[in-house]
Amino acid sequence: MSFEVNLPNHIGFIMDGNGRWAKERGLLRTKGHQQGLESAKILIKHCSDIGIKYVSLYVFSTENWKRTVDEINFLMILIKNHLKKEYGFYKKNQIKVVHSGDILGLPKDVQKVISDAVNETKDYKGLTVNLLINYGGRNEIVRSVNKILSSKVTEITEDDIYKNLDNPDIPEVDLMIRSSGEQRLSNFLLWQCAYSEFYYSNVLWPD
């Protein structure tokens, strides 16, 4: 007997609650981010194993620049180190890495590791992992509209806007999951979540 499993095509994750996880344990917020990355890796592997096609992970928002310099620097280092050392993991699982967000607003060295990871994995045919780094839904839509305007059109359609988003090949989000009990979107994939189902879990991201 065979079972038909109806999987969502694209799942978006708002990985929230790293700071609270650390605070509960009397640790620095940075420890929460470190543990949060471990959980993200387990999740990516699981999504790949069960045959999900697209996963979007909210890593760093355009609003996250309001955090302390120390926390921002730590997050940038975590992103760099992860992308530099995980080529083997991505290759073994045939996971393709793509980026969404305003790349030019990131430090040069972070821009470089992101474009290297995207290039290195571009031909892999398994799960696509869309990393949202310096990402804001409003910012992405504004950048899309500006790209269209530079082609001198007189009227803009919905299709034009979708095609000029950062990753127009990725379909809309079917299911958005946010951890840690906050029930809001926080500027996550605004255009692509128009028809998504939302699931909120009280579990903190590292757990």
Using left for φ > 0, alpha for ψ between -120 and 50, and beta otherwise, residue 25 falls in alpha
Q: How far is the CB of 136 from ligand IPE (least distance, A)?
A: 10
Residue type, 6: N
Relative to beta strand 10-14, strand 128-135 is unpaired
Which residues contact ligand IPE (rule: CB under 6 A)? 14-20, 58-61, 63-64, 75, 182, 184, 186
Listed residue (126, 117, 100) closest to 190, CA to CA = 100
* 36 is an interface residue for Mg ion by CB under 5 A: no
Nearer to ligand IPE, 56 or 144 (CB): 56
* 61 is an interface residue for Mg ion by CB under 5 A: no
Closest residue to ligand IPE: CB criterion: 19
* 16 is an interface residue for Mg ion by CB under 5 A: yes
Q: CB under 5 to 8 A by kind: which of ligand IPE, Mg ion, none does 14 bind?
A: ligand IPE
Listed residue (95, 106, 112) closest to 48, CA to CA = 95
The rounded distance, in Å, linking the Cα atoms of 16 and 26 is 18
For residue 199, what are the β-bridge partners? Answer: 177
Query: Which positions are annotated as active-site residues?
Result: 16, 64
Nearer to ligand IPE, 28 or 145 (CB): 28
Q: Which residues bind Mg ion (CB under 5 A)?
A: 16
